[in-house]
Amino acid sequence: MVKLYINNKEVQVEAASTLLDAIVRAGFKVPTLCYLKDMFNEATCRVCIVELSGGRLVPSCSYPASEGLRVLTDSERVLKYRRAIVEMILASHKIKCQSCSMKGGYCQLLKLSKEFGVEGIPVCAECPLYGSECLLNLGIACLGPVTIAGCDAICTKERSPCIGCRGPASPDDVLEEGIKTFIKYKINIDEVVGISELFWGSNPLTQTIRKLFTNLHEGGRV
């Protein structure tokens, strides 16, 4: 057994344990993505970083616990870097929320994005509805695929379409995937643009939606 300190709380773990094991045993939590079940189980996402007493930042899921080590799980520096890591993940993340098995309240990336106030995932990631219950599948124009997530999908839970009250998502890949979703469900793009203009006013992204729709059709990318 080795003894170490998590946020100044003493804890003992087996010698082969990781800092993540010690953190859990001490009753604290750190976010994990690549360490999730059926994922990589490798220190690739870095979201679980913690700060050692000497100031070094290390991934807790792979760093070994050792005698006398002192660890901070939520220092100001750790939280700053975690937010930056989530932003970097989203920068290269493929937004496939409608077809993702992690939607409907299971998406940990969405939860972290909301926690750190990072934009990049559409409301559809939060949608609790599946298959034929999806409003888009019913032919109802809904701004969920191109609207910033974070509202817990109250609109779709109440069986009414999202009107984009949190504003449009701005990353190009999010908008493009949103337009592909509209096309897939045969939603009239004029209706989508009309709703976006009504609730987003003269926001230039409303016209970007129309241009993307035209380009995707003409370029044969759907």
For residues 109 and 76, membership in a common domain is answered with: no
For residues 113 and 23, membership in a common domain is answered with: no
> How is residue 160 annotated by DSSP?
S
For residues 170 and 193, membership in a common domain is answered with: yes
**Structure tokens of 58?**
């290390």
pLDDT of 44 strictly over 80: no
For residue 112, give its domain range. 95-218
Domain count, the chain: 2
For residues 165 and 195, membership in a common domain is answered with: yes
For residues 55 and 152, membership in a common domain is answered with: no
Q: What is the mean pLDDT of residues 36-43?
A: 57
Task: Kindly report the average pLDDT of the chain as a whole number.
Answer: 87
| pTM for the predicted model, two decimal places | 0.80
pLDDT of 23 strictly over 70: yes
Q: What is the mean pLDDT of residues 17-25?
A: 96
For residues 113 and 69, membership in a common domain is answered with: no
CA 50 to chain centre: 20
Spatial distance between the Cα atoms of 15 and 121, rounded to a whole number of angstroms: 40
Enumerate long-range contacts of 166-173, CB under 8 Å, 24 or more apart.
166/123, 167/200, 167/203, 168/143, 168/196, 168/200, 168/203, 168/205, 168/206, 169/119, 169/120, 169/121, 169/122, 170/119, 170/205, 171/90, 171/95, 171/119, 171/120, 173/94, 173/95
**Cβ contact 167:148 at 8 Å:** yes
For residues 154 and 114, membership in a common domain is answered with: yes
Domain boundary among 28, 56, 87: 87
For residues 120 and 79, membership in a common domain is answered with: no
**Which pLDDT tens digit goes with each residue over 207-219?**
888 888 888 876 6
pLDDT of residue 39: 52
Domain boundary among 38, 58, 87: 87
**Cα-based angle 139, 144, 145 (whole degrees, multiple of 5):** 90
Residue type, 149: A
Maximum mean pLDDT: which of 58-62, 160-164, 209-213 = 58-62
Name the percent of the chain in helix, strand, coil, to the closest 5.
40, 10, 45
**Which pLDDT tens digit goes with each residue over 114-124?**
899 888 889 88
Residues facing residue 13 across a β-bridge:
2
For residues 8 and 75, membership in a common domain is answered with: yes
**Which pLDDT tens digit goes with each residue over 65-121?**
999 999 999 999 999 999 999 999 888 888 888 778 777 777 888 889 989 988 888
Domain boundary among 38, 67, 87: 87
Residue type, 116: F
Say if strands 70-72 and 49-52 run parallel, antiparallel, or are unpaired. Answer: antiparallel
DSSP string, 31-85: --STTSTTS--STTS-TTEEEETTS-EEETTTSBP-TT-EEESS-HHHHHHHHHH
**Cβ contact 15:26 at 8 Å:** no
For residues 112 and 19, membership in a common domain is answered with: no
pLDDT of 45 strictly over 70: yes
